[in-house]
Amino acid sequence: MVSNSPVPASLELPPVPAPGSPRRLEGRDKLTGRAQYAGDFTSHLTGGVLDAAVVVTSTQATGRILTIDASAANKVPGVRLVLTHENAPRLHAVLATNGAEIGDLLPLQDDKLHYYGQAVAVVVADTLAAARDAAALVHVTYSAPAPDAAFTLAQGRSRSQDVKKVGAGDPGQVQVGHPDKAFAAAPHQVDLTFDTAPHHHNAMEPGAIVAAWEADGGLTVHLPTQFSYGDAVILGEAFGFGLKERLPNIVAQVLGGIEFHHKVRVVSTMTGGAFGSKNANVHLLLAPMAAKLTGRPVKLVLDRAQTFSMMPFRGEMHQRIRLGADAEGRLQAVLHDALLAKGTAGQFVAPIGEATTKVYATPNLGLHVQAAALDTNAPGWMRGPGAPNGQFALESALDTLAYQVGLDPLEIRLRNYADTEPDTGKEWSSKALRECYAQGAERVGWHQRNPQVGSMRGENGRLLGYGMATAIYPTLQLPARARIVLGADGRAVVQTANHEIGQGMITTFTQLAAETLGLPLEQVRLEWGDTRLPYGGMTVGSMTTLSGGAAIQEAAQQVLKTLLKRVVADQASPLYNLAPATLRVENGRIMGPGGASETVAAAMARQPESPITEEATTGRTMGHSRYGREAFGAEFAVVSVDPDTLHVQVERLVGAFAGGRILNPLLVRSQLMGSMVWGLGQALLEQTAMDERTGHWLNDSLGEALVPTNADVADIDIILIEEDDSRGHPLGVKGLGELGITGVAAAIANAIFHATGQRITSLPITLDKLLGTPLPQSAAPASNP
Amino acid sequence: MLETLPYSNAPVPVDLTINGQLHQLAIEPRTTLLDVLREHLGLMGTKKGCDHGQCGACTVLLNGERRVSCLTLAVSHDEATVTTVEGLATGDELSPLQQAFLEYDAYQCGYCTPGQLCSAQGLLHEGHARTRDEVRELMSGNLCRCGAYPHITDAILSVLLTQQPTP
Amino acid sequence: MRNFGYLRAASAAEAVQAGAAPQVQFLAGGTNLVDLLKYRVEQPAALLDINRLPYQHIEELPDQGLRLGALVTNAATAYDARVQTRYPLLSSAILAGASAQLRNAATNGGNLNQRTRCPYFYDVAAACNKRQPGSGCAAIGGHNRGLAILGTSESCIATFPSDMGVALRVLDAEVRLLGPAGERVVPMAEYHRLPGAEPWRDNNLLPGELVTAIDLPPAHFGQHYTYLKIRDRLSYAFALVSVAVGMRLDKAGHIQEARVALGGVAHKPWREPRAEAVLAGQLPTAEVFGAAADELLAGAVGQGENNFKLALARRAIVRACQQAAAGTPQSQSDKHIR
Ligand SMILES: Cc1cc2nc3c(=O)[nH]c(=O)nc-3n(C[C@H](O)[C@H](O)[C@H](O)COP(=O)(O)OP(=O)(O)OC[C@H]3O[C@@H](n4cnc5c(N)ncnc54)[C@H](O)[C@@H]3O)c2cc1C
Ligand code: SF4
Ligand code: FES
Ligand code: FES
């Protein structure tokens, strides 16, 4: 019952996180409703006209469209167009570097059905209400569905095929040593299979796009995306622009300094959450197709249900882990087999097992990935792609092994600590994982727990359990360019087409440029998310700071160099004739030895005609390094389970992360916290239910496809451990946006095992799974830590 | 059917005072308050996350109470007062809640934030949340896929504690 | 959402008369109806807005009971001081449902008349006898994790999703109706129907009939009660199983009277006199509660995906009875089950 008593005195003012860190620079806009997302566009931003487009999706997965009757829809006042495969512009093939569906399947090109919820028409009208009305009147008939359709792995197992490359090119088949033989010979063996449910990103902002064709034949789109340049090239390819830039070699061209300027402009300033779901989407093509025929700007926003079939998701996965260990618990063999669902079109297979080849030392290692193409829309990149599922399987198996051998779960991880990269033997660029284990364990009270399974009791006889897992995520860097212009007013403008998706890019980049230039934050302004700006790379794989940040730092260093050269050559400067190497710039002031100094603004003001402009390109080696480069962490979960109803509650999550240099602890903390919340959701809640009879994502709503609420989220404790990773990356930073999710599901599953003795091998762990097996009869004395 | 009834689906006059400004509208009966704000008035601060009452992104204050505007038919609220995220600050000065969200980093992508702020404002007004657990429960009608929950709770608690004298 | 006509009812008489016409629906808070309009599950020709009718208050009844106006919101009801002290079970059940925003809009009359959350009912492309009589039931043999285990029929296995209704059932509330033919009072027990062969009929309301109030008879469950709601997510989710319990114990600790109702398992809040008879006069032990649970669940059958509800319901009943007997009702903000 909610009490009406006053606030208890015991309630303390929550400490402000990372007090010294700059707050989000776009914060005021987000807090006052001024921040503008694509769906918020109104006609005054597009020259007085902005029509509304609504998609009509199929209610059958396979077969053909027999008829589409748009006559009633066309009669609705205000309707301008009903776009179907019969009248849609023909598109040219596109190449989707991320394996997205549109690389294989362009929308509205023929009458074939590929999945339930496929776009079959787009209705454009003057108002959203009219477009919705008309969309409901589009009448579609279908031929009989295919009798042998498969929508789940259980149905489509016979379609399994070996996968050569997973993710962005990691090997799908790995063999180091003789894993089968070593497994067979190992004194301790664990052999477990795991199933993880499909689930969707469900960013709070659904897919949205505004498309406008210009009089000169150019196309401008505004949309939330993680790769504006990529989307621009796709549009250019699809609509047959004579393109110099093609996606496969865009990187080479960027590196070669070829200016990217064709008639497609993609602008992406605010994104209401992405998590891998936003780029190369189907609606990217639909809105420009419609706008081309109406000759007027169009805004298309998906409804929530449509995001389930028209945007990607994390597909269903089936895994088998075999671990062989010696008597001391040292891994002799690790075998990881995985079968992943693919879409009917699209090439994406999550980089499953990537972590398995990097996380623990073992002389014999096998990875065998297969995929089965199902009659559904295509799975795609989703926060920590592959890693949390792979880690759930591997770390659950390792936990099982620990109990079998009689080792503490933490000890078995230390015993198998990989001092060099397991699959390559390379030295690590840096790896403070031991620190993470130690500090995380200390914070959660790991060594004070009773390690015996089913032994711990909380209030009201609740079963308490502690679990842990290793978090691991690759540190990658992609090519990126940045331009910095230092103006006559001493202010700098930083330009790069990277994207703000909630990770805090605007703040981090501005901060980084300001620090490098020696300017106060207020004197630096970032321009981002627009293909008119220098290529900023993809906002994926936790690489924003690594990729774009490196380019910004380099450009800033060049600006600084030019500035110092200029002042020492400028007779009017108090710093005239000093050696540039003796000068420092701090807080907007250039300082020399012996107290000589002037402000950057003063120095620049003397040559108002010549601002300093520098560009830099970084990431040429694509992050390849002679070192192994991973970010690591140790994640701990404390759960309590009601002994009668088996209702699970996560009491606490502790994550200790080693992420190189931390530029803005506030933003990093928020990223890690968010990804740990994702881990909790994946562990206990998230699943999109497939109706095996029709291919329909049945619970295609936020009310039925559950994601965590505020009440679900436990106390989350984050420990940041700084590392010197300067030999891994020029900024010494690592990717931290996804690391946090990778070990959480495993830690929670392991904690549930510790509490109940039940090893649940499928996600999410809903209580029906726990109700299946009896509880431990352990009469161990209650302990209440 | 309709001919025999005294009903019409023609636009209905509705007066709404939104962020202090009176709007005299004529809207179809089916128009939700959310669509009035976004589609008719161009007030885009209030977000549509689901359009089915399942996410809280569209939360506004209706006569001071928090409501999901996507399930609220505007015709039913003639003469009501509405406050949206655009109406929370006083000129350039952020409200205490907005300021706390900034300090506690109680948001990431910002898409759920207008709803979180209006909901939190409503929660303070209701006066039923006195503990951390109560804040969490009574803010559970606002999903945040970025997972900023712990910071959202902290930010709200900080305002709760500084606005209400402890005995 | 299809467009529709709109009329604001100025008087109850007008409302019941106009409401009796087919294809006209009452609009209260709209939190269920507007949702269904958007999915085109409901496509009325007109809405009759009843929000200005005079059913806006909670009033004392001469027998120490309370009359809850049909248009009082769920939030106002749950936080009403009289309800909180005299009917804390009701307050708790309401606060277990939906979200603060929704409870601010949802009315007591609307809550009683909310429709099922069966996913196929919502999906206009699926077969559903409740939505489209005679089309079949896609939930049988489909995904039915959230659906009923008791009182199902061959034509429908939907549940009535309300939390408030489960508490009202335990409290022996009476629903006051006003229709074209005048007033009548229907006990909660008879308000909702089982699906039978006519699953499209959720309850026994006649055309044009309006819920005007819910009467709560005097109750003595201020101490020994609980509303235990088990769901996948800790908040803002419908029950998989919920249990409302009200009890009176004598000085020696024997159960004088116990009432138990289940939510999330049937087309109506489920109560069984035989289960309560098992409890009467007994000491509150897990065995006794288990025996009562078996009576309450007699005849329950799983539909496949929801088989687990049988075990879950039994455990939840025992636990809820223990909570009630111990006087440690479930908190709706601290989610730990006591
Ligand atoms: C996302 C979400 C989550 C929810 N979670 C829960 C939950 O966990 N537990 C729970 O119990 N509920 C839950 N609800 C349901 C909510 O409680 C109901 O929608 C609400 O109680 C309905 O009340 P209303 O006034 O808004 O009704 P309306 O939507 O206005 O009406 C609903 C129906 O009742 C009829 N009606 C309304 N008033 C009367 C009357 N006086 N006489 C006759 N007929 C009438 C209407 O014609 C309509 O058919 C949830 C709803 C949503 C949207
Ligand atoms: S269970 Fe009832 S509501 Fe659900 S599909 Fe079957 S008939 Fe329709
Ligand atoms: S948009 Fe209204 S609750 Fe989601
Ligand atoms: S801040 Fe992104 S959804 Fe809450």
- SS3 string, A505-526, reads HHHHHHHHHHHHHCCCHHHEEE
Rounded distance, CA A668 to CA A544, Å? 12
- pLDDT over 50 at A752, yes or no: yes
Cα(A277) to centroid(ligand 4), Å: 15
What's the pLDDT score for residue B9? 78
- Mark yes or no for CB contact A640/C232 under 8 Å: no
Which residues are C183's β-sheet partners? C178
Q: Which of A57, A62, A60, A59 is nearest to A112 (CA)?
A: A62
Q: Which band of pLDDT confidence, cut at 50, 70 and 90, is reported for residue A781? A: very low
- pLDDT over 90 at A775, yes or no: no
Give the residue from chain C lying closest to A117, CA to CA: C125
A713 reaches B (C-beta below 8 A): yes
What's the pLDDT score for residue A238? 95
A160-164, A171-175, B34-38, C1-5: segment of lowest average pLDDT: C1-5
Rounded distance, CA C22 to CA C243, Å? 36
- pLDDT over 50 at C197, yes or no: yes
Which of B45, B60, B87 lies at the terminal end of a domain, its last residue?
Answer: B87
Cβ atoms within 10 Å, residue B46? 25
Give the residue from chain B lying closest to C7, CA to CA: B7
Task: Tell me the pLDDT tens digit for each residue of C86-144.
Answer: 999 999 999 999 999 999 999 999 999 999 999 999 999 999 999 999 999 999 999 99
- Contact criterion met (CB below 8 Å) for C333 and A5: no
- Contact criterion met (CB below 8 Å) for C75 and C91: no
The domain in which residue B38 lies consists of 2-87
Cβ atoms within 10 Å, residue A22? 18
Q: What are phi and psi of A781, to 5 degrees?
A: -65, 145
Q: Give the ranges where A15-147 is alpha helix by DSSP (H).
A: 27-32, 71-75, 128-137
Rounded distance, CA A377 to CA A201, Å? 14
B128 and B153 housed in the same domain = yes
Burial of residue A86, with CB atoms counted within 10 A of its CB: 0-12 exposed, 13-18 middle, 19 or more buried? middle
Q: Which of A229, A339, A207, A338 is nearest to A275 (CA)?
A: A207
B116 and B77 housed in the same domain = no
What's the pLDDT score for residue A477? 87
Q: Which band of pLDDT confidence, cut at 50, 70 and 90, is reported for residue A248? A: low
Task: Tell me the pLDDT tens digit for each residue of A81-109.
Answer: 999 999 999 999 998 878 999 999 999 99
B16 and B49 housed in the same domain = yes
Q: Which band of pLDDT confidence, cut at 50, 70 and 90, is reported for residue A7? A: low
B127 and B70 housed in the same domain = no
State in words which class domain A38-383 has: alpha beta
Domain count of chain B?
2
Give the sheet arrangement for strand C270-271, strand by strand: C224-230, C241-249, C255-263, C270-271
Rounded distance, CA A268 to CA A302, Å? 17
Q: Which band of pLDDT confidence, cut at 50, 70 and 90, is reported for residue A128? A: very high
B56 and B102 housed in the same domain = no
- Contact criterion met (CB below 8 Å) for A685 and A708: yes
Q: Which band of pLDDT confidence, cut at 50, 70 and 90, is reported for residue A9? A: low
Pick the CATH number of C224-326 from 3.30.390.50, 3.30.830.10, 3.30.360.10, 3.10.20.30: 3.30.390.50
Average pLDDT of span C46-72: 97
- Mark yes or no for CB contact C230/A647 under 8 Å: yes
Rounded distance, CA A538 to CA A478, Å? 8
Cβ atoms within 10 Å, residue B133? 18
B29 reaches C (C-beta below 8 A): yes
Q: Which residue has the higher pLDDT, A368 or C220?
A: A368
Q: Which band of pLDDT confidence, cut at 50, 70 and 90, is reported for residue A170? A: very high
Q: Which two tokens stand for residue A546?
A: 């690594």
3-state secondary structure of C274: helix
- Contact criterion met (CB below 8 Å) for C34 and B32: yes
Domains of chain A by residue range: 38-383, 386-471+625-769, 480-618
Task: Tell me the pLDDT tens digit for each residue of C150-187.
Answer: 999 999 999 999 999 999 999 999 999 999 999 999 99
CA of B49, nearest ligand number: 3
**Cα distances (Å, whole numbers) of residue B10 to A79, B13, B33, C3:** 19, 10, 17, 9
B103 and B35 housed in the same domain = no
Residues 6+ apart with CB under 8 A from A4: B127, B128
State in words which class domain C5-52 has: alpha beta
| Preceding amide of A764 cis, omega within 30 | yes
Rounded distance, CA C74 to CA C170, Å? 18
What number does the ligand 1 atom closest to the CA of C229 have?
A: 8
Task: Tell me the pLDDT tens digit for each residue of A562-610.
Answer: 999 999 999 999 999 999 999 999 999 999 998 999 999 999 999 999 9
What number does the ligand 2 atom closest to the CA of C128 have?
A: 8
- pLDDT over 90 at A542, yes or no: no
Residue in A132, A644, A696 nearest the CB of C319: A644
A2 neighbourhood in chain C, CB within 8 Å: 79, 95, 332-333
ipTM of the complex: 0.97
- pLDDT over 60 at A776, yes or no: no
**Positive or negative, the Cα torsion across A559, A562, A565, A566?**
negative
What's the pLDDT score for residue B1? 38
A453-457, A776-780, C50-54, C224-228: segment of lowest average pLDDT: A776-780
Q: Which band of pLDDT confidence, cut at 50, 70 and 90, is reported for residue A782? A: very low
Give the residue from chain B lying closest to C105, CA to CA: B67
Which of B23, B53, B87 lies at the terminal end of a domain, its last residue?
Answer: B87
B102 and B150 housed in the same domain = yes
Q: Which two tokens stand for residue A722?
A: 């700084």
C319 neighbourhood in chain A, CB within 8 Å: 642, 644-645
A110-124, A228-242, A457-471: segment of lowest average pLDDT: A228-242
Which of B37, B54, B87 lies at the terminal end of a domain, its last residue?
Answer: B87
Q: What are phi and psi of B74, to 5 degrees?
A: -65, -35
Residue in C1, C235, C315 nearest the CB of A644: C315
Domains of chain C by residue range: 5-52, 224-326
A766 neighbourhood in chain C, CB within 8 Å: 232
Element (H, E) at B33: helix B33-35
Question: Which residue has a Cα nearest atom 28 of ligand 1?
Answer: C30
Q: Which band of pLDDT confidence, cut at 50, 70 and 90, is reported for residue A255? A: low
- Contact criterion met (CB below 8 Å) for B75 and B52: no
A343-347, A374-378, A725-729, C316-320: segment of lowest average pLDDT: A725-729
Cβ atoms within 10 Å, residue A527? 17
Q: Which band of pLDDT confidence, cut at 50, 70 and 90, is reported for residue A476? A: confident
Q: Which two tokens stand for residue A657?
A: 């992360």
B82 and B101 housed in the same domain = no
Residues 6+ apart with CB under 8 A from C111: C74, C162, C164, C165
Rounded distance, CA A385 to CA A226, Å? 15
What's the pLDDT score for residue A621? 73
pLDDT tens over chain B, length 167 residues: 344 556 677 899 999 999 999 999 999 999 999 999 999 999 999 999 999 999 999 999 999 999 999 999 999 999 999 999 999 999 999 999 999 999 999 999 999 999 999 999 999 999 999 999 999 999 999 999 999 999 999 999 999 999 864 43
What number does the ligand 1 atom closest to the CA of C238 have?
A: 8
Long-range contacts of the stretch A134-138 (C-beta < 8 A, 24+): A134/A54, A134/A72, A134/A73, A134/A74, A134/A76, A134/A79, A134/A82, A135/A54, A135/A55, A135/A56, A135/A73, A136/C2, A136/C40, A137/A72, A137/A73, A137/A76, A138/A56, A138/A68, A138/A69, A138/A70, A138/A72, A138/A73, A138/A82, A138/A84
Rounded distance, CA A119 to CA A309, Å? 9
State in words which class domain A480-618 has: alpha beta
Q: Which band of pLDDT confidence, cut at 50, 70 and 90, is reported for residue A245? A: low
Ligand 3 site residues (CB inside 6 A) read: B 48-51, 53-58, 68, 70
Rounded distance, CA C172 to CA A213, Å? 65
- pLDDT over 50 at A297, yes or no: yes
User: DSSP for B99-117?
Assistant: HHHHHHT--SS-SSHHHHH
Average pLDDT of span A528-543: 88
Q: Is the CB of C156 under 6 A from ligand 2?
A: yes
The architecture (CATH level 2) of A386-471+625-769 comes to 2-Layer Sandwich (3.30)
Do A38-383 and A386-471+625-769 have matching folds? Answer: no
Q: Which of B108, C117, C162, B84 is nearest to A671 (CA)?
A: B108
- pLDDT over 50 at A3, yes or no: no
Q: β-strand A597-599 against A589-591: which pairing, if any?
A: antiparallel
Q: Which of C288, C268, C262, C267 is nearest to C277 (CA)?
A: C288
Average pLDDT, chain A: 94
B67 and B101 housed in the same domain = no
Residue in A2, A7, A674 nearest the CB of B161: A7
Rounded distance, CA A223 to CA A301, Å? 10
Rounded distance, CA B134 to CA B147, Å? 18
Mutate to test the pocket of ligand 1, among C8, C31, C117 (most ligand atoms within 8 A of CB): C31
Rounded distance, CA A446 to CA A637, Å? 10
